[in-house]
Every structure is written in C-alpha cells, then in structure tokens.
Amino acid sequence: MYRSVDKRKQTIRLVLIYTVVPILVAVFVTLMVLYMIGYRFNSSDASLSQGGLLQLASRPSGARVSIDGATLSGRTNTRHNITAGTHTVLFERDGYVPWQKSVSIKPGQVLWLNYAWMIPEKLSRQTLHTYPAVYQALAHPDSRQLLVLADRSKPTLDVIRADNGRAPRRSVEIPATVYDPAAGATLELVEWSGDGRRALVRVVKADVDDEWLLVDVKRPNETRNISRIVERPITSAVVDTTDSSRVYVLSDAAIRRIDSGAQTMSVPLARNVVSIAQSHDGVVTYTTSRAKDTSQRTVGYITPGAKTGKTLRVFIDDGSIRLSARIGKYSDQEYVAVLYGRSLEIGALDLVSSDDSAELRAYNLATLAVPAETSSIDFSPTSRFVLTRAGNTYATYDIELAKFTNTTLKGTASKTAQLGWLDDTHLWSGRDDEVVVYEFDGENPREIMPIAPRTQPVLSDNGKYLYSIARADDGKLRVLRTQLVP
C-alpha cells in the first residue's frame, strides 16, 4: 500500500518535470527573445510593446547622456534600449559645447548616434606655416593631405600632411618640359586622385587651348601632359578613382580614357556628351546633348575598364531643363540619383557592366522637390547621403533612414560659399571666411576657425586636429591647426 502511494508521487513528479519545466523554459526563452528584440513592459498601461536600441558614441568619449531629460548611468560610448517614438538625446562633457539631437525610433530599430563631435568651449589654435599669398588649396580627406598653390604663375605646389604633429610640408616642382609656360599662363588645381598620389592641374591660357596635367606629387618627374596625348581641346576631365594613372577626358563632345603611363587614348566611350562626373567606386556618369531628330537627352554611365557607355535614362524635352546624375554604392548596393529640373529621383540600381546588353533594373526610393536654383548633386564619401546644393543652402537624403533635410548655411555673405565633406557624416562651409562644421542633416553647426577663399580645410587621421589656411592681420596667409580633441 505504501509503495503504491510512493509510485503515485513519483509519477506526479515526473509529469511535473516533463510538462511544467519545458513550459517554464519556453516562457523564459520567449521572454528573453522579446527582450533582445526590444520589447518592454509598459507599467503605465500594463502592455508589452517593442522599442528600439540606441548606440551612443561621441568624440571624445566620456560624455554624460540624457534622454528626454533623464540622465543615464553610463557615459559614451554606450547603448540604451528605448521605447518607439520621438526622443531628445543630449551629450554633455565638462569643457565642451553640449550636443543635442532629436531622433525618431521605430519598433525593432537599431539607431547609431556615433558621429557626435564634442567641440571644446575654448579652442586651441597654432600657426604652423606662413605664406606671403595663397591662390588655392585642395584637401584630400582620405589621405589627409593639403595641396597648396601659392602663386598660380609658378609651377610649384606644396603638399602638407595633416598628421598629428607639425604638419610637414614639402614642395613639388612641375618639370618645365611638361607644359608650355606661355606668357600669362596660370595654374588651377582641379582635383586630387582617389589614392592621393596625383593631382589634376589645368594650365589656363589666354589665346590658345588650355593644357591639362596629371601631376605625380610623389614622383614629379613622372608628371604627364594629358593634352599632348589627346591632341585636341579638353573641356573637362576626371581622374580614374580605381587607377590614378588614368584620366577620363571630355573632348569634342566624346569621352575617352587616357592611360598616362602608356600614353595611349581609347576610342570614344560615349558621344554627344556635355558633362561628366565620377563616383567613389570609379563609375563615370554623363549626360548628352539634345538630339535634333528625336529631341532626346540621355543619362548614361561607364563602368571601370568598359569599352562603351550604357544608357541609364532617356528624357525628351527642348534641352533647357537642368539634367545631371550620379551613381554611388552603399552597403554593397548601388544607388542612382537623377536631378531633372526641380525633381530629384533616388533609386536602388542593379548595376551591370556598361558593356553588358542586359536590361537595367532600378527601384525608386524617393522623388523629391528641390529648389529651382539647385546647381549640383553628389553622393557622400560612403554614398549613404545624396547631397544637393542651391546657393547657400544644401539638402541631404539619408538612404539608411529615408530622411530628407534642408539646411541654410550660417553667415551673411551673398556669394555662394564653398561646401564639402570633412568625413563620412560631417560637412564644412566657408561662408564669411569661417569654417563652420555641420552634421549631414544640418544640426549642431559649430564655428571652428577662419579660412581663406579658394582653400579647403582637412581633418587629421584621428580627428584630433583641423587644419586650414587663413589670412592674418598682417596680410600673410597662415596654415593653422585647431585642436578638437585633447
């Protein structure tokens, strides 16, 4: 009899073990999964709702973090689970200007706020080099170099390395045999090559065709005169970002690829072309003139190494409407941005070689209205943002967040100010001869340092210093270094 009771107890225990325990484990695992994907219990209405995750970082780190007025226990760099909706994030650090951002969180979203610059309240600045005059200076953000043309009538360039020390300077002499220094000839810096080894320089002449030089800043004796290879007037040119010894030129309304090393020129890759541009991955985009018989204009592209261009879009009009396009690649996906009149179209693109006859597939992401005076369109260095420019305003479309923002540059000067990227998420403007740094969406603008016209600032490797060239009270031009991070 007692054994029978013991057996029943044992059976009950086994049933409990094999039924209740798995249920408890399943409930626990379910709760953990819900927690990991952002679900939280809302005590105000006794509901379970999915939130998001904020990844928070600043430069320098160690900033206090407040969200909607409540201070978190951790400091940057950190992360925080948050309910879906709109929130105000505030970073504060002693001795630095507070950084603030309003963000919208969707259920299940991970939002990275990892681009906050904490700018010191008191900026430290040093003079590194001095020039009697500077005509032009081009920054190369990736290689952290500044190319300086002090006197446009002389074939001498300076390369300043924006390191974390004294920013060493070295001179580059363009060989006298490379071009014809006709009376009145002057130099203009056009662009750096993608690898920072070469620079495209235009020799401007009054009565004869300009000459285009590909200057090797490391080995000046290997500088090449592109015009002598082409042997015809060049309208515009871009250095191949995949191979800096090659240049795409627009000449006689045709695009040709020039190999400066072999000193050879390709057959025309596209004809009836009026403008060319290039992506960071080496894809050249172009627009054609209006065909008289069909009234068609086209937007096309040329992939690296291809033998011909490929049509991307066709437009039928009278030829007076502004038209341009750019192609960029972000997170292994190609995107295309087309500016046509007051319309900006952005789409994902299944890019194929321009030699391939396969049909292109594009998927529209956004069609946006832009100001009538919009003059330029481009992608950011990582191609996450599409940037348009209209006078002293700019607009960006964030591909990742599908967000479009407009920004008016600070300052009063009516002349259109310079605008460029300092890094992947920050732009700079030189309006009123002052470097003002903006985030991609125009928020948290900060005045940093003075800057001279026709020059550009450059950031050091780790973002510790910002360099610029500015005019001093004595009229001389000085290379300045401003410390951003201790």
**Which amino acid appears at position 293 of this protein?**
D
Q: Which domain holds residue 100?
A: 51-117
Closest by CA to 160, choosing from 177, 175, 138, 133, is 138
Mean pLDDT over the full length of the chain: 92
DSSP 339-400: EETTEEEEEEEE---TT--SPPEEEEEEEEE--TT--EEEE-TTSSEEEEEETTEEEEEETT
Query: Tens digits of per-residue pLDDT, 415-442?
Result: 999 999 999 999 999 999 999 999 999 9
Sign of CA dihedral 12, 13, 14, 20: positive
Residue 367 lies in a domain: no
Do 149 and 211 lie in one domain? The reply is: no
Query: Tens digits of per-residue pLDDT, 350-382?
Result: 999 999 999 999 999 999 999 999 999 999 999
Q: Which of 240, 268, 296 is the last residue of a domain?
A: 268
Do 91 and 128 lie in one domain? The reply is: no
pLDDT at 459 (0 to 100): 94
Residue 166 lies in a domain: no
Residue 180, classed as helix, strand or coil, is coil
Do 260 and 180 lie in one domain? The reply is: yes
Residue 442 lies in a domain: yes
169-173 sheet: strands from edge to edge: 136-140, 145-149, 156-161, 169-173
Residue 27 lies in a domain: no
Taking residues 155-176, what's their average pLDDT? 92
Angle (CA) 333-339-345 rounded to 5° is: 50
| Residues paired with 361 in a beta bridge | 350
Do 179 and 242 lie in one domain? The reply is: yes
Do 107 and 131 lie in one domain? The reply is: no
**Between residues 150 and 415, the one the model is more confident about:** 150
Do 201 and 254 lie in one domain? The reply is: yes
Residue 10 lies in a domain: no
Residue 57 lies in a domain: yes
Given a cut of 90, whether residue 38 has pLDDT beyond it is no
Cα distance between residue 22 and residue 402, in whole Å = 43
Closest by CA to 188, choosing from 241, 131, 236, is 236
Do 145 and 210 lie in one domain? The reply is: no
pLDDT at 1 (0 to 100): 45
Query: What CATH number is given to the structural domain containing 63?
Result: 2.60.40.10
Do 134 and 208 lie in one domain? The reply is: no
Give the count of domains, the chain.
3
pLDDT at 181 (0 to 100): 82
**Which amino acid appears at position 216 of this protein?**
D
Given a cut of 60, whether residue 466 has pLDDT beyond it is yes
- Percentage of the chain lying above the pLDDT 90 cut: 83
Do 178 and 263 lie in one domain? The reply is: yes
pLDDT at 26 (0 to 100): 73
Do 220 and 185 lie in one domain? The reply is: yes
Do 218 and 140 lie in one domain? The reply is: no
Cα distance between residue 49 and residue 283, in whole Å = 45
**Which amino acid appears at position 405 of this protein?**
T
Do 61 and 76 lie in one domain? The reply is: yes
Residue 474, classed as helix, strand or coil, is coil
Residue 393 lies in a domain: no
Residue 337 lies in a domain: no
Cα distance between residue 447 and residue 436, in whole Å = 4
**Which amino acid appears at position 111 of this protein?**
L
Q: Which of 249, 268, 287 is the last residue of a domain?
A: 268
Query: Tens digits of per-residue pLDDT, 217-262?
Result: 999 999 999 999 999 999 999 999 999 999 999 999 999 999 999 9
